[in-house]
């Protein structure tokens, strides 16, 4: 296997946006970090107790409407998956992410704004070699008609099929592998939802920051966004983006082939727990 250097940022990357659920303004800074640091979030609005939260599958405490991680003190950060996918896509191994609120800003609903900010800041190669998690035995999880499994492979790939039983979102299937640039293949794919779901979420105090500027919204089997889709199969591409963000919570890049049907944040996290619970299923390389 070819050795690969670890990467961090050359300079801090700064973004501002709104929280999808709070609707509040959020400032975010992605800072350079030393070798073997990993990805760590720091809540800059929290004082007097531990405000650091490591991006780790074991720290996932909620998977409804996004991936939420928390530390032992109960400090949390939500909607991290689009940023985590951008960090994976650009090969960033080490970063300290300062966030001024309890959720990462939704930006345009994709990874693209994070990618642009990181690229503008520059990427720095580090002296230490990257460690990766190589799958050596198949593991799988399932729930109702949904499933996700990962098998040994020489690279990382995801074969995903979605089915929302909607005319606006036909059954879509796509395979993504890490020999394809993430930025072009998946980076611009936006999150999506149904208008009736948005109305309900707002009625219970959520999705206050959601709009046609940061999500694809579907009503009566029609897409409400005037500009339409960025990709013909943007829905499955975004779900692939979500998978990558969730799987980067392994703490290292995975080497294995994922096959999934109707998976989501919960099942993605369950798969990581299942993988790491079996010491014979993986090795660190």
CATH code at position 165 = 3.30.1700.10
Distance CA 211, CA 65 (A): 15
Collapse the DSSP code of 181 into the 3-class scheme (helix H, G, I; strand E, B; otherwise coil) and give the result.
coil
Instruction: Identify whether residues 158 and 28 lie together within a single domain.
Output: no
**What's the mean pLDDT in 31-42?**
98
Last residue in a domain, options 106, 129, 152: 129
pTM for the model stands at: 0.96
Instruction: Identify whether residues 119 and 139 lie together within a single domain.
Output: no
Which pair of tokens denotes residue 237? 């591409």
- Give the largest Cα separation in the chain, rounded: 54
Which pair of tokens denotes residue 67? 């991936």
Instruction: Identify whether residues 152 and 267 lie together within a single domain.
Output: yes
CATH, residue 91: 3.30.230.20
Instruction: Identify whether residues 123 and 136 lie together within a single domain.
Output: no
Confidence of residue 65 (pLDDT cuts 50, 70, 90): confident
Instruction: Identify whether residues 140 and 202 lie together within a single domain.
Output: yes
Kindly state the DSSP code that residue 102 receives in the 8-state scheme: S
**What's the mean pLDDT in 13-36?**
94
pLDDT > 70? residue 206: no
Instruction: Identify whether residues 125 and 139 lie together within a single domain.
Output: no
pLDDT at residue 173 in the model: 97
Angle at CA 97, nearest 5°, toward 5 and 204? 135
Instruction: Identify whether residues 141 and 280 lie together within a single domain.
Output: yes
Write the pLDDT tens digit of every residue in 217-245.
999 889 999 999 999 999 999 999 999 99
Closest CA to 211 of 228, 224, 222, 229: 224
Q: Which residue range(s) make up the domain with 147?
A: 132-284
List 82, 196, 265, 273, catalytic entry: 265
**What's the mean pLDDT in 35-52?**
93
Instruction: Identify whether residues 72 and 17 lie together within a single domain.
Output: yes
Write the pLDDT tens digit of every residue in 66-123.
999 999 999 999 999 999 999 999 999 999 999 999 999 999 999 999 999 999 999 9
pLDDT at residue 75 in the model: 96
Instruction: Identify whether residues 136 and 25 lie together within a single domain.
Output: no
Instruction: Identify whether residues 85 and 160 lie together within a single domain.
Output: no
Last residue in a domain, options 80, 107, 129: 129
pLDDT at residue 270 in the model: 98
pLDDT > 80? residue 204: no
Last residue in a domain, options 129, 161, 181: 129
What is the CB neighbour count within 10 angstroms for residue 48? 6
Summary mean pLDDT of the chain: 95
Number of domains in the chain: 2
pLDDT at residue 260 in the model: 98
Which pair of tokens denotes residue 255? 């080497």
pLDDT at residue 179 in the model: 94
Q: 53 forms bridges with which residues in the sheet?
A: 41
pLDDT > 80? residue 48: no
pLDDT > 80? residue 52: yes
Edge-first strand listing for the sheet containing 146-151: 139-143, 146-151, 257-261, 157-162, 172-177
Instruction: Identify whether residues 184 and 92 lie together within a single domain.
Output: no
Please indicate whether residue 265 is annotated as part of the active site: yes
Percentage of residues in the chain having pLDDT higher than 70: 98
Write the pLDDT tens digit of every residue in 134-187.
999 999 999 999 999 999 999 999 999 999 988 889 899 999 999 999 999 999
């Amino acid at each position: 296997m070819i050795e690969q250097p670890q990467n961090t940022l050359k300079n801090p990357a700064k973004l501002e946006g709104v929280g999808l659920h709070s609707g509040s303004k959020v400032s975010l800074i992605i800072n350079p970090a030393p070798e073997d640091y990993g990805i760590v979030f720091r809540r800059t609005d929290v004082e007097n107790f531990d405000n650091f939260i490591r991006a780790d599958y074991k720290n996932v405490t909620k998977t409804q409407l996004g991936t939420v991680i928390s530390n032992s003190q109960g400090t949390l950060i939500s909607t991290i998956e689009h940023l985590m996918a951008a960090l994976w896509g650009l090969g960033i191994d080490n970063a300290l992410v300062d966030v001024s609120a309890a959720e990462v800003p939704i930006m345009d609903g994709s990874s693209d704004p994070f990618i642009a900010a990181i690229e503008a800041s520059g990427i720095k190669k580090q002296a230490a070699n990257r460690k990766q998690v190589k799958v050596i035995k198949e593991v799988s999880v399932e729930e109702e008609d949904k499933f996700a499994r990962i098998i040994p492979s020489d690279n990382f790939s995801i074969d995903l099929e979605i089915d929302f039983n909607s005319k606006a979102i036909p059954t879509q299937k796509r395979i993504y592998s890490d020999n394809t640039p993430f930025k072009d293949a998946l980076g611009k794919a936006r999150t999506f939802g149904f208008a009736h779901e948005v109305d309900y979420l707002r009625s219970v105090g959520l999705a206050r920051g959601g709009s046609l500027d940061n999500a694809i919204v579907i009503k009566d089997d029609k897409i409400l966004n005037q500009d339409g889709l960025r990709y013909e199969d943007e829905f499955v591409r975004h779900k692939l983006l979500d998978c990558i963000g969730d799987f980067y919570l392994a703490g290292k890049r995975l080497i294995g082939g994922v096959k999934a049907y109707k998976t989501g944040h919960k099942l993605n996290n369950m798969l990581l727990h299942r993988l790491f619970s079996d010491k014979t299923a993986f090795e660190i390389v």
